[in-house]
Structures are given as C-alpha cells and as structure tokens.
Amino acid sequence: MPQQDQKLQSGLPRAQSGVTASVSTFHSRVTRAESLQEHFRESETRVDQISRGPLVGELSGLEAGSVRILDVRFNRSVRICGQVQPDVLHVAAISASGEQSVCRGHKVQRGQLLILSPGETVHHVAAAESRSLVAMIRPGELWAAARTLLQCEPSWRLAGMVAVHPHPVAQRELNVILRAAIHRAKQESVSATAGPVADRRFEHAVLHRVVRALDSAYPMDQSEIGHTRRLQILKDAEDLMVSRMEGSLTIVDLCAAVHVSERTLHYAFRDVCGMSPMAYYKSLRLNEIRRHLQRADPRRTSISQVVERFGFLRPGNLAADYKRQFGELPSLTLRHS
C-alpha cells in the first residue's frame, strides 16, 4: 500500500466491526441533457442544452459510502441551474477542457476546484467538449475526516465560495483518485462480476485527498464570496424569460425589467453564457418544448398546438430551429415520447 494510504488508514477512524462502504458503479452514453438531472438526487436542478446540434455525452459514476464521484462529458454546451442538495457538498476538479465554462458568474480556470455548498444556488454553463469530475460528499463525513487528519478544526469556510486554487501536488493527487474511480466505474459496468463491493478504503482515500486539496488551497487563494453583478443581471432576465415562455418578450422588455442598457445586458449574457440574450431566450423555449413533447401523448398532441402554445409563427419555423438545436425534428421527439 502507498505510504500516503498507510497514513490515511492509521489516521482516520476505523469502521465498526461488520460495517463496510458499499461501492456501486454506473456508466452510460446519453443523448439528452436532462439525463444529468437523474444523478443529482433530491436537488432542484434543471439542465438545458445551450449550443446547437445533436447532443452526445457520457455519464459515469461511482458511489462509496459518503462519497459519490460523477464524470460528465458533453459535446455541446449545457446549462445547469437550481439548488444544491441540502446535505451534499460538491467539489469539481477543473481540467483544460473546462476552462471556458462559467460558474455563478466566474470564468473557471484549469487547476481550480469549484465549490458548491449544501443548499446553494447553482448557475453553471459548461463549455462544449468539456469534462467535469465532481465529488459529492456529505459535509459531516468530510469535516470528521478533516478533524482527524488535521488534528484541529479546519480553517477553511466553504459557504458562498466559488473556486479555490489548491497546491498543484494536492490537486494532482485528487485528480488521480477521481480518475481511478471513473475507470473503475467503466470497467465494472460491463463486467460480469459488477456489483456492490466492500471498500471502506476507497471512501477514505477520496476524503483524504479532498481534505488535502482544500487545506492547501485556503492560504493561497480564495475567490470572492457571493454573486457578481453580471450574474445577477442574467438571473433577473432569466426569471422573466422563464415566466414568458410563449415568446412574447423583446429586448426592450428585458432592459426595462432589469434596469440596464442593451449593451450591459449583452455583455452579461455574452460573458456568462456565450450568446446574446434573445438567443438564450430561444434556447430556453426550445428546451421547454422538448420537455413538453417528451411528456406528451402523441395521440392527443399535435405540432400545431405546440407552435401556438410557445409563440412560433408557423410549424416550419419551429421545426428548423428545433432541428438545429437538437439534431432531430419535433415530430420525432413526440413520436418517441
């Protein structure tokens, strides 16, 4: 066993006799952004496809006791918004492919850790072709591990924090264990012997590396707490968009409601989402139409009804925009609902 893992096993409290951490895994290819919602348990999140074209992605994961590792890859840009589960801390490692992503108004950088505390608001725009490695941890278990490993109360406070820069060595060690988890998930998902495996050591190894990364990050850098002005502008505009999915909003309406100039509004959307306000509005409407079609009864729903409900001028307009966004006609989505 490596020296660090030997220290880990001697440092963390041992499991009670007969108590183990069950390890379960999954791996799947996906063609719908909403598939990601299924893996954020008990959270109020919504996932929309932002950039155009057929979506292809992979979701892999491993769960060991108090720790859940999720690997998310999409070829298109997606937006995740909502609220973090009340009892889960999210720690995401940023690689080179994720550098164009924006989390709560902050452009993320390679080598950072994104931090989302329990109950916090999420607004994350993942860049196309990006990869996200996320560790979801029960805070109580993380704090217990930190007190044991550090032999004192952790000095870091994560509430409201967006991102930190851990020491490169600590970051590398964390990446290694996260990638090992995903490799195991992919191997076991196709293995004839796949299933729950007793592995308390793996759970402790992840907790150990997360504690090391967070503890090394605190003295070096801490991002500003709270939302930035541009994110607040986007949130106010987005709330109005969601309430007016019938397509009646104009750029004048948005500027008047948010109390900013057209230029300021454009800058906020370009910076956070990489597109104009009206393009973003159309993307939200198309994603809502897709959800509506997936839930609809094909025998009782027509494309003409959808066109009228969501404010498109004619079926041809909707069909063209929908196919550019998702790579298929709305009639096909309805047929497969």
Establish if 271 belongs to a structural domain.
yes
Which letter does DSSP use for residue 207 in this model?
H
Residue 21's pLDDT band, with cuts at 50, 70 and 90, is: very low
pLDDT at 324: 93
Per-residue pLDDT of 225-239, as tens digits, reads 334 678 788 889 999
Instruction: Tell me: do 209 and 235 sit in the same domain.
Output: no
User: Is 0.75 surpassed by the pTM of this model?
Assistant: no
Is residue 208 located within the same domain as residue 287?
no
- Tell whether 132 and 242 lie within a shared domain: no
Mean pLDDT of all residues in 62-84: 87
Amino acid in the structure at residue 69? I
Do residues 269 and 331 share a domain? Answer: yes
33: CATH = 2.60.120.10
238-289 pLDDT, tens digit per residue, is: 999 999 998 888 999 999 999 999 988 998 898 878 889 999 999 999 999 9
Residue with tokens 């027509």: 302
CATH number, residue 295: 1.10.10.60
Shared-domain flag, residues 186 and 267: no
Mean pLDDT of 68-84: 88
Q: Is the pLDDT of residue 148 over 70?
A: yes
Q: Is 156 domain-assigned?
A: yes
Asked whether residue 247 is domain-assigned, the answer is yes
Looking at 217, 243, 274, the residue that finishes a domain is 217
Domain assignment of residue 265, yes or no? yes
Domain endpoint, select from 187, 217, 247: 217
Could you tell me if 209 and 233 lie in one domain? Answer: no
Q: What is the pLDDT of residue 34?
A: 73
- pLDDT bin (cut points 50, 70, 90) of residue 23 is low
Structural domain boundaries, residue 322: 229-335
Shared domain for 191 and 262, answered yes or no, is: no
Q: What is the DSSP string of 224-283?
A: PSS--HHHHHHHHHHHHHHHTTTS---HHHHHHHHT--HHHHHHHHHHHHSS-HHHHHHH
Total number of domains in the chain: 2
223 is a domain residue = no
Same domain, 149 and 25: yes
Quickly state the pLDDT bin for 16 (edges 50, 70, 90).
very low
